[in-house]
Amino acid sequence: MTFLLNIDVPDVAQATTFYTEAFGLEVGRRFGTDFVELLGWPAPVYLLTKQAGTVGAGGDRRRYARHWTPVHIDVVVADVDAAVERALRAGAILEVPARDAPYGRIAMLADPFGHGFCLLAFSEKGYDALLGSS
């Protein structure tokens, strides 16, 4: 089984710049001008040009203002604060500043296209810290 991450964006060139600068991903293949493969995460990322207003899954029209979706990316990093700064320089929008949590440190952001993501550095126990003692 293989996992791929597809991200709809209105401008593949702008998105390629954002994702390479914010996360250090590298361009793999280009499939014409509207479809780019990015490498560097455990799963390849495919940026797909889909214009605002076009119909997506479920008949919903795409919009690239900040939107909510039940699926988002958590990017696990060694240093959340440094990763936030890098993402902000690349054009991310900070929604919730970095804070400590029982499982580590987390910040919540959005890319320039309205897709939310978190930057996360796990503590030694990680999510196991949420289990408590039994």
Q: Which of 11, 60, 3, 71 is nearest to 35 (CA)?
A: 11
Residue with tokens 């455990």: 42
Give a yes or no: residue 59 inside a domain: no
| CA–CA distance, 21 with 114 (Å, rounded to integer) | 17
Is the C-alpha dihedral spanning 121, 38, 21, 70 positive or negative? negative
Domain of residue 91: give its range: 65-128
pLDDT of residue 133: 59
Give a yes or no: residue 101 inside a domain: yes
Which CATH number covers residue 124? 3.10.180.10
Which percentage of the chain shows pLDDT scores above 70? Answer: 99
Which tens digits make up the pLDDT trace of 32-71? 999 999 999 999 999 999 999 999 888 888 889 998 888 8
Helices (H), the chain: 12-23, 80-90
Give a yes or no: residue 134 inside a domain: no
Residues 2 and 41 in one domain: yes
CB neighbour class for 22 (10 Å; exposed up to 12, middle 13-18, buried from 19): buried
88 and 94 Cβ atoms separated by less than 8 Å: yes
Low-confidence ranges of the chain (pLDDT < 70): 133-134
Q: Output DSSP code: residue 63.
A: -
Total domains in the chain come to 2
CB neighbour class for 87 (10 Å; exposed up to 12, middle 13-18, buried from 19): buried
The pTM for the full model equals 0.89
pLDDT of residue 60: 85
